[in-house]
A = this chain, B = another copy of it.
Amino acid sequence: MELQAYAPYLGVVGFIIALVIFGVIKAQPVGNETMREIADAIHSGAMAFLKREYMVLVAFIGFVFFLVSLAMNFATALSFVGGAFCSMLCGFIGMKAATAANVRTTEAARSDGQGKALMVSFNGGAVMGLAVASMGLFGVGIVFKLFGGDPATVGNINGFAMGASSIALFARVGGGIYTKAADVGADLVGKVEAGIPEDDPRNPGVIADNVGDCVGDTAGMGADIFESYVGSIVATIAIAAAAGPDLLAQIAHGDQARHVAMSMPLILAMIGLVFSLIGIASMKFLKGINPAAALRYTTFIAAGGFLVAALIAILALDMRAGVFWAILVGCLAGIAIGLITEYYTSSSPVMRIAEASKTGPATNIIHGLAVGLESCAAPILVICIGILVANNFAGLYGIGIAAVGMLATVGVTMTVDAYGPIADNAGGISEMAGLGPEVREITDGLDAIGNTTAAVGKGFAIGSAALTALALFSAYATTVKLQAIDLIHPKTVIGLLIGGALPFFIGALTMTSVGRAAGKMVDEIRRQFREIPGLLEGKPGVKPEPGKCVDISARAALHEMILPGMTAVVAPVLVGFVLGKEALGGMLAGATLAGVLLALMMANGGGAWDNAKKFIERGDLAGEKKGTDAHKAAVVGDTVGDPFKDTSGPAMNILIKLMSVVSLVIAPLLINS
């Protein structure tokens, strides 16, 4: 048996390790009664939301399964269900781990100090990270085994990516609306109106806010990265399957060229998983050093090992060296975009916004928007260089394999991503449980690092989404057998324009949803402060009713995710069948362009606003501190940035991938259009 045939088994092994780590977390002490109570509330809120979300999704999956069976074939429909199921399982396990690890991190900080607390939260993230990498490998490995050997059936694999994408959209948009409705609502009444601190136990919206961190930042992000990971592999397989002789000659030597080219993405994913495991394990030896450095080293170890092993595999399989350069450039592009994101959300741009807060909220907003707009240029250039190099060395296949290279060590990068919201939650629990400043200092420290990793992770998510979407776009173009997607044809231009308008439209829908849901949350929290006697004064024994806030967020999220989700699925089908395959190609290009730009602007602008507020709170802006007018202006910016960076921005990543993958799936029907 060839190496890639073992992919599903390796996937199972990875998943078992994830479950073992989960067991280790569960074995840690939970802390005192109050902590347990808070953690239970977060856990049950998160699980209740997930359950309701998944019920909606099962209905959606059934419906699409039916459609795909009819329009395409039963095997593709089955792949679709498989992809959707794997994504949902990742979300479920990851969330279970996150809601177990949060309180145990707090307890570790209380009883053992920083090193142990870092370890627990990192392990919590590792469950999600490994689940994503393992389930992806397992699932794609299986569908590749079933359909990868025969050119007539290889298209069925695309269904798996479409399943993963569909779930991702709903998880990201639903989770994003949930978390920001709660966050914005709780902040507007708590911090701004009532003047009580963040995560104050009197605030009825605080539990919902913490639940939101789990469903948005953990489950949503996991589904997003899972989709990129699966999408990049599937796209590269599709490009290899449809490659002409010239392209094949650029990829590998000999008669087995196509077979090798198709297997390589899976082999890279396998190598990536192995080195992710090594990276994660290395944390055991790194936990003593500075936590930020420790987190960075785990990813470096994994990436370094991965690259060496990838080179060996390429040489061993008689592929051309150019394939390695494409992989390398993919890895480097991922890192570069992460660093650019870090710059825009931490350095001089943040100071500019903080400085502008002195003249009020309007100038804060103007400068924040300017930073967001500005931050698009550098990552776009990085992506352009990546495409240029990858294409130069290995044609369209190079673009796909570069994306795979960027995402192969997703096991560890996702671990670091998922660590953030756990640390954030741990801080919230220590505040709500009144654990005192020493504990809070440790959790705050971990949380601050989490904010940086989150910013870098968002950049990575956008970069990988862009490259994956481009790879899927190339796969679409190859599969649909177009000689050219010609911008001189007015139909292509029309597709381009419609595609470009879609991200703006989805952005509008999601921003409005957050605004509307936050408004409902504000009303409910105001009501509780008004109607529950002694709540605002902090009378002992008087407790808020967080369940109602959790319910409001959940309802709003589920209701509001439908329209954007359906738009993303229906639009490419409509354009493809009405205006033709060339217009659909234009549409994908337009949507990818506008989507990536908006995603960058929103993520970086939002992150910069957030940190400008923190900059003032830390007292780093001369003469200003919490409570001054400049700080109030910065809070306005932060509140605007919330839906930017956590709802609408991330929705763009999924939108562009989902539209591309839907197009790839329906491509066979469009060949003769």
Contact = CB atoms under 8 A, between A and B. Distances in A.
A291 interface: no
A459 B59 CA distance: 42
A370 B474 CA distance: 32
Interface in A567-616: 585-586, 589-590, 593-594, 596-597, 601
Interface stretch (A10-18, A273-281, A354-362, A655-663): A354-362
Contacts of A496: 589, 593
B500 A380 contact: yes
A44 interface: no
Contacts of A139: none
A322 B51 CA distance: 58
Contact of A593 (B387, B488, B497): B497
Closest 7 CB pairs of A and B: A374-B508, A362-B639, A373-B508, A370-B511, A485-B487, A391-B490, A484-B486
A487 B492 contact: yes
A547 interface: no
Contact of A636 (B361, B488, B601): B361
A508 B604 CA distance: 13
Contacts of A491: 388
Interface in A369-403: 369-374, 376-377, 380-381, 383-384, 387-388, 391, 396, 399
Interface in A153-173: none
B360 A487 contact: no
B586 A487 contact: yes
A515 interface: yes
A589 B487 contact: yes
A643 B366 contact: yes
Given A474-B488, A487-B589, A500-B597, A515 B356 contact: yes
A374 B505 contact: yes
Interface in A115-134: none
Contacts of A497: 380, 383-384, 387, 593, 596
22 contacts: A188-B363, A361-B362, A362-B635, A366-B514, A370-B512, A370-B515, A374-B505, A374-B508, A377-B504, A380-B500, A380-B501, A387-B493, A388-B491, A470-B493, A482-B488, A484-B486, A487-B487, A487-B589, A504-B597, A590-B593, A593-B593, A594-B597
A639 to B, nearest CB: 4
A373 B504 contact: yes
B636 A512 contact: no
A267 interface: no
A110 interface: no
Interface of A: 184, 188, 192, 356, 359-363, 365-367, 369-374, 376-377, 380-381, 383-384, 387-388, 391, 396, 399, 470, 474, 477, 482, 484-488, 490-494, 496-498, 500-501, 504-505, 507-509, 511-512, 514-515, 518-519, 522, 585-586, 589-590, 593-594, 596-597, 601, 635-636, 639-640, 643
Nearest to A519: B359
A593 B376 CA distance: 15
A613 to B, nearest CB: 12
A487 B582 CA distance: 10
Contacts of A492: 487
Nearest to A485: B487
A488 B493 contact: no
A362 B511 contact: no
A474 to B, nearest CB: 7
Nearest to A353: B515
B360 A512 contact: no
B490 A484 contact: no
A257 B354 CA distance: 63
B362 A184 contact: yes
Contacts of A500: 380, 593-594, 597
A187 to B, nearest CB: 9
Contacts of A485: 486-488
A380 B399 CA distance: 30
Contact of A367 (B374, B376, B512, B596): B512
